Amino acid sequence: MKRSNFHGFSLIELVFAMGIFSIISVLIFAFFRFGTRSFSRANEKHGLQTDALRVAESLQLEMKRTNRSSVRILPVNDTSDGEAVRRDVVSFISLKDWKAKGDDDNFDRVTRAPLWNRYVIFYATGEDIGRLIRLRADPNPAPNAPVRIPTDDLDKLHFDNPSLNRIDGEVPEYIELSKSVFSFETDEVKLAGRTTGEYDILLKLKQKRSRDQIESAEAREYDHYELSLRIRPENSFPEVP
């Protein structure tokens, strides 16, 4: 009768194998957690970058087409988490439809010059972490000239609740470009004391990090993103003294 060559594991061998398995499991879990956290962090930062890109595209598209004589900047001082910030209001003249070249409501029939009929307003709301609103207001009657929006009208067009804004009794069209605004500053560029026709825009975004991103009490609680633009309004017709 043949004797079996199979030998069972000793207790020491079993304990040793379980120890190795536990170490490998811990390492796998640690790598998995690191990868998940890195992906989550990258995704959150991508959200801020996407917001900044959306704001930049909208500002450049709208502001480059206006006449600089119509630009009005209303500086607004505010606070965020106890820190002084600016949440400015920027407005300028525009058209309801820039593509409607054959539309007499937007372009002069003879000269094809723009018949200015809309104001565009960008402003940041006053919450601790604010929102950036782009608003399109259509006054009646239309100004038809590249003039600044009257102060009384502008005062009714930058409420924290955009649905409270009014132009001639109507709620103007608006969208939220970002929900992560820390500050929004606009300044007219000057050189040797003279204006250059350009505007510097500084947008700072701030977003609270998700709980699994905060690894210790010293870790940053917020992610930040900063965008700087210089824009020159390029429409020069007609010039208003």
- pLDDT digit string, tens, across residues 102-130: 778 899 888 888 999 999 999 999 999 99
State residue 221's pLDDT score. Answer: 82
Give the type of residue at 90. V
The reported pTM is 0.79
Residue 241 banded pLDDT, cuts 50, 70, 90: very low
- Give the span between the Cα atoms of 217 and 156, in whole angstroms: 43
β-pairing verdict for 83-86 and 222-231: unpaired
- pLDDT digit string, tens, across residues 34-53: 545 554 555 556 789 999 99
Dihedrals phi, psi of 174, to nearest 5 degrees: -150, 160
Please check the confidence at residue 9 and state whether its pLDDT lies above 70.
no
